[in-house]
Amino acid sequence: MVRRRNLFVPGKTEYVKEKASRPPGQCILCDVARGVGDVVNLEIAREGDFIITLNLYPYNPGHVMIFPARHVEDPRELDRDEHPQLARLQNLALDVLAAEYGPAGFNVGYNVGAAAGASIPHLHLHVVPRYPRELGVVDVLSGAKIVIEDPVETRRRLRAAFADALKKSRG
């Protein structure tokens, strides 16, 4: 019998507590879209009907999320104009992150529904840069993930990179 091992993300406790304290029906990504003042602003860019933001609890530097400004919970709810916009922004994110961080690969995807791991009921596409030998001794021994770049620096770098890439893609 294989013994099950649990992985813990201790820093996410504050997020879970904050989420539990939000009034029912209030969506944090809708608040980001509206610019509500009490949410952490990790926005990188807005393009068309979508917003690109950093993940507050990144798996790696450059972990971005792309989400529609309107409240949508399932990719099947996107309209015929939104699908190509999202595909274009996904590819743009891959290009920008490849140029800025030079990862060995990416994880790209959604968690749709609580059973699938969605902690926010607002559709968002994760684009996560991946690197060889990500797991280090500190990760294993301390139960914590070391993220080697300050999120403020990540936001600065990626805002500039996405602004340049979006400008070029329109021109």
The CB-side HSE value for 170 (13 A sphere, CA atoms) comes to 8
**Main-chain phi, psi angles of 117, to 5 degrees:** 100, 5
Of the candidates 54, 56, 45, 58, the one whose C-alpha atom is nearest the C-alpha of residue 162 is: 45
Of the candidates 85, 69, 73, 83, the one whose C-alpha atom is nearest the C-alpha of residue 29 is: 69
Annotated catalytic residue 124:
yes
Residue count (the chain): 171
Q: How far apart are CA 66 and CA 89, in angstroms?
A: 8
Question: Of 63, 122, 124, 126, which one is the catalytic site residue?
Answer: 124
Of the candidates 115, 113, 133, the one whose C-alpha atom is nearest the C-alpha of residue 123 is: 113
Q: How far apart are CA 25 and CA 106, in angstroms?
A: 32
Residues forming the active site: 124
